[in-house]
Amino acid sequence: MVYFGCHLSSSKGFFAMAETARRIDADTFQFFTRNPRGGKAKPMDEQDAAKLAAVQTAGVLGPVIAHAPYTINPCSMEERTREFALQTMTDDLLRLEHIPGNFYNFHPGSHVGQGTEKGIELTAKTLDAVIPEQCGTTVLLETMAGKGSEIGGSFEELREILDRVRHPEKLGVCLDTCHVHDAGYDIVNDLDGVLTAFDAVIGLDRLKALHINDSMNPCGARKDRHEKLGQGHIGLEAVIRIATHPALQGRPMVLETPNELDGYEKEIKLLRERIGAGL
């Protein structure tokens, strides 16, 4: 089995997200650790965190994904910008110690003209600085579409980041279906080939979570525009093949499709129906 969920607003706290998830038949969810535009996170409500942890211990929800603000750039050319990423990630990971056993997903960043090698080096350095010795959270590098000067558009680039950090055992990868598709991996016609490549370069044991999105653009477009399930270039059949793939079982699969809550509810229902049908 896999865990299905979607991105939720964290404005009412952890337990409210758990309740919302259950209401729409989700058994995982994702949330932004703070306003994506940056800025301060709300003070941690320890009781609220403990309530989520209890729900998870009871087995009602699987692991959840905290998403770093997408506006941080851990491999920026500007020292100031890197410092901001470092502070944000350090603070996020500290706060996540209140809900251990979950994931912290972030975008590896954009090298903005410094070159991929330099970007990888800076991101690895940032990771070494932000991951504490005792860390109850697994930090996930998200596969990217390779838009602009984004790093992480190939499995090899993610591998290089893993190779350079001091504690690779604290890291994993989150595969975003829209992003890998846009980066040129043909998950529609050759899912097995893509997973074989992932396994050879990174190792499927490092694949900890997936973002399930359709794409507005064709394979290789390097665009990163998410689409509702079945309405884009990936299509529902390919999504079902991913969700039912034997090598991908046991992971949280989170929707980041352009939907409000009712749309997410419908997509989760659709996935569960199709999978229940044994397809």
224 binds, among Fe ion, Zn ion, none (CB under 5 to 8 A by kind): Zn ion
Q: Closest approach of Cβ 226 to Fe ion, in Å?
A: 8
Cα of first residue to Cα of last residue in the chain, in angstroms, is 13
Q: Is residue 224 part of the contact set for Zn ion (CB under 5 A)?
A: yes
Q: Is residue 150 part of the contact set for Zn ion (CB under 5 A)?
A: no
What type of residue sits at position 29?
F
Count the residues of the shown chain that bind Fe ion, applying the rule CB under 5 A: 3
Rounded to whole angstroms, the Cα distance separating 102 from 66 reads: 8
81-89, 200-208, 223-231, 268-276 -> range binding Zn ion (CB under 5 A): 223-231
Q: CB-wise, 27 or 176, nearer to Fe ion? A: 176
Q: Closest approach of Cβ 58 to Fe ion, in Å?
A: 28
Exposure b/e, 49-86, CB count within 10 A at least 16 = b: bebbbebbeeeebbbbbbbbbeebbbbbeeeebbebbb
Q: Is residue 176 part of the contact set for Fe ion (CB under 5 A)?
A: yes
Q: In sequence order, what are the residues at sequence separation of 6 or more whose Cβ sits closer than 8 angstroms to the Cβ of residue 196?
A: none
Q: CB-wise, 5 or 51, nearer to Fe ion? A: 5
Comparing CA positions, the residue from 53, 32, 30 lying closest to residue 41 is 32
What type of residue sits at position 35?
N
Q: CB-wise, 55 or 141, nearer to Zn ion? A: 141
CA distances for 115 relative to 111, 141, 151, 180, angstroms: 6, 19, 9, 21
Q: Phi and psi at residue 81, in whole multiples of 5°?
A: -70, -40
Q: Is residue 150 part of the contact set for Fe ion (CB under 5 A)?
A: no
Q: CB-wise, 56 or 105, nearer to Zn ion? A: 105
Length of the chain: 279
Rounded to whole angstroms, the Cα distance separating 183 from 176 reads: 10
Asked whether the beta carbons of 65 and 26 are under 8 A apart, the reply is no
150 binds, among Fe ion, Zn ion, none (CB under 5 to 8 A by kind): none
211 binds, among Fe ion, Zn ion, none (CB under 5 to 8 A by kind): Fe ion
Q: CB-wise, 135 or 255, nearer to Fe ion? A: 255
Contacting Fe ion (CB under 5 A), which of 51, 211, 228, 251? Answer: 211
Q: Closest approach of Cβ 135 to Fe ion, in Å?
A: 20
Comparing CA positions, the residue from 168, 176, 183, 160 lying closest to residue 135 is 168
Binding mask 243-272 for Fe ion (x = CB under 5 A): ------------------------------
Q: CB-wise, 15 or 31, nearer to Fe ion? A: 31
Site residues (vs Fe ion, CB under 5 A): 142, 176, 211
Site residues (vs Zn ion, CB under 5 A): 224
